[in-house]
Amino acid sequence: MESALMRRLAQVPDQRSACGRRHRPVVILTLTACATLVVGGDSVAAIWQWAARTSQQVLQRLGAYRDPFTGLFMVPSERTFRRVLAGLDADALDTAISGYVTDVAGRAAPMPQIPDTPGPAERQHPARWPPKTWPRSNGSPPAARNSPRSPS
């Protein structure tokens, strides 16, 4: 079963060489869109981590690559996500996403149902940490303040 989003993302051309290509770009772009919308994946690593937890049934529905030896549907590696996303034709992706949004707004495609999926644990960013507070100086150097002798 192919969705309206997948039909639109299938229009984005694959910039990679055909040699050694396993994963269709529509699978990578769909996993990226879902990871971004569902859990707010803001990095390729977060997107890949979310995609790696995708069930075999979902990967089958997406048309993911099936390993001929194990019979399992495979999630592209983080490196493949990076390579595909870095080499995208941005205009073609923008056209595909805009077309999908237009389809949803015009009710030609159903409104996406975003499940309540727990995302990765919140990461603390250094900018959000409380600032360090230092003891106020009384004008003397730190070594003089801590010396056992008091100045006379």
Interatomic CA distance for residues 25 and 146, integer angstroms: 65
- Could you state, in order of their start, the residue ranges of all structural domains in the chain? 4-115
Interatomic CA distance for residues 16 and 119, integer angstroms: 30
Positions in the chain short of pLDDT 50: 1, 121-124
CA-nearest of 127, 22, 36, 144 to 83 is 22
Classify each residue of 125-148 as buried b or exposed e, where b means 16 or more C-beta atoms within 10 Å of its C-beta.
eeeeeeeeeeeeeeeeeeeeeeee
CB atoms within 10 A of CB 120: 12
State pTM to two decimals: 0.70
User: What are 87-118's pLDDT values in tens digits?
Assistant: 999 999 999 989 988 998 898 888 877 666 55
